[in-house]
Structure 1
Amino acid sequence: MKTIKSINALEEFGREQLSANFYMRDFLYSEISAFHGIANIPDDPDLAIAAGRRLCEDLLEPLQASFGRLAIRSAYRSCAVNGFGNDHDLNCASNENNYAHHIWDRRDAQGCMGATACVVVPWFAARYSEGADWREMAWWIHDHLPYSTLAFFPKLAAFNINWHEQPERRIDSYVAPKGCLTKPGMENHEGSHANWYEGFPPLSL
């Protein structure tokens, strides 16, 4: 796909189907973009589409099939949008750190592609509001899906979920207990964690 330089081209880009239930348009909204008037448009549409398809097919589709509709909080960010957010302390990491994460149309320093979306699972958000532990969802994803990184947030039990060509398999949280829940080499990394998510639905594909 050519560089997007017209509203018609942007509309066509938004119509790109990434998986059975997700289209590129689902991932383009940004409060930073909307409020500050910064275009949230990729420089490399084809790379954004390729990375987004893997995120959707490998991670978001199984999540939605298992738990019901997902709410997308934040996903693709252009370098301009993410850079503005970083410069103004709007909870955006640097552009370099977000390549192959929220910036889908840039490969990271290792030359790998990746894509991140921040999502809310309403099924779990309702349980979380009644006292469920965020680690229940974290361990379910860890045991069932080929994620690269997860990062959990306090509001609505939202979490960043990243697909990457070289997955890290690391989970962090800004909710107590804060910090790293697991990563390769930690004693809790391997094996089943099913005791954490009793009553959760099985994986559906």
Structure 2
Amino acid sequence: MKPPRSVSALTEFGRVRLSKTFFMRDFLYSDIAAIHGFNNVPDNPQLAIAAGTKLCEELLEPLQDRFGRIAVRSAFRSAEVNGFGNEMQKAGKSGYTCADNDSNYAGHIWDKRDSAGRLGATACVVVPRFHDAFSGEGDWTRLAWWIHDNLPYSTLYFFPKYWAFNIGWREDPERRIDSHVAPRGCLTKPGMANHEGSHAEEWAGIERAMIS
């Protein structure tokens, strides 16, 4: 599959169905691309589709089935878009939070494997019903531990606004959770005492609360 370089080609690419309810078009919007006039499309569409399908089928669909509609805030970034965002971030420009391209291969840059050769994809999402029910200080950890116990994620990174979080799927997953909101820093990673076993006591009641 060639990179989409026309309206009709991009339309067809956007119609690619990645899972039960998600299509490629759901993940192509970029604020940086919209403001600066970039084309946020992959150089390797087939690799982006493969990675995005895993992200959707194994993480986003189960999360949405359990907690209701997911809002996608940011997802696929072309290497061009991400690289520009990183340069703006390093220059101290407000609103640009992109890590460098090497760090985002198999992350927000879906169409390139990481330095270890792993396929991967990341999306920043909000679960509105969860935030509506659990907006108190530290409540984001309830959802983090539920995902940790129930889904094959690689990385999670939580943010203050609406408990938005980056959720990443990757071959040979890292299984690490970090946050920019209290409690800040690393919640868990392999080797930490809290990593293994069930954490049901941390998320007890959230499924029932979401259904009621």
TM-score when scaled to structure 1?
A: 0.96
**Structure 1: how far apart are the matches of 2:65 and 2:97?**
30
In the alignment, what sits opposite 2:192?
Answer: 186
In the alignment, what sits opposite 1:107?
Answer: 113
Three-state SS of the structure 1 residue aligned to 2:207 is coil
Work out which of the residue numbers 85, 104, 117 in structure 2 matches 1:98: 104
**Structure 2: how far apart are the matches of 1:126 and 1:195?**
21
In the alignment, what sits opposite 1:172?
Answer: 178
**Structure 2: how far apart are the matches of 1:11 and 1:190?**
44
Alignment of 1:96-175 (within 5 A): 96-131=102-137, 133-175=139-181
Q: Is the 8 A contact 2:123 2:168 kept in 1?
A: yes
Report how far residue 134 of structure 1 moved: 1.1
Segments ≥4 residues shifted beyond 4 Å: none
Report how far residue 126 of structure 1 moved: 0.9
TM-score when scaled to structure 2?
A: 0.93
Q: Is the 8 A contact 1:79 1:95 kept in 2?
A: yes
Q: Is the 8 A contact 1:128 1:156 kept in 2?
A: no
Gaps of 5+ in 2: 90-95
**Structure 2: how far apart are the matches of 1:156 and 1:128?**
10
Gaps of 5+ in 1: none
Three-state SS of the structure 1 residue aligned to 2:43 is coil
Report how far residue 2 of structure 1 moved: 1.5
Could you tell me which amino acid in structure 2 is paired with residue 112 of structure 1? R
Three-state SS of the structure 2 residue aligned to 1:187 is coil
Three-state SS of the structure 1 residue aligned to 2:40 is coil
User: Root-mean-square deviation (CA), in Å?
Assistant: 1.1
- Identical counterparts, % of pairs: 65
Three-state SS of the structure 2 residue aligned to 1:88 is helix
- CA deviations over 1:10-31 (Å, ceiling 9, x no partner): 1110000000000000000111
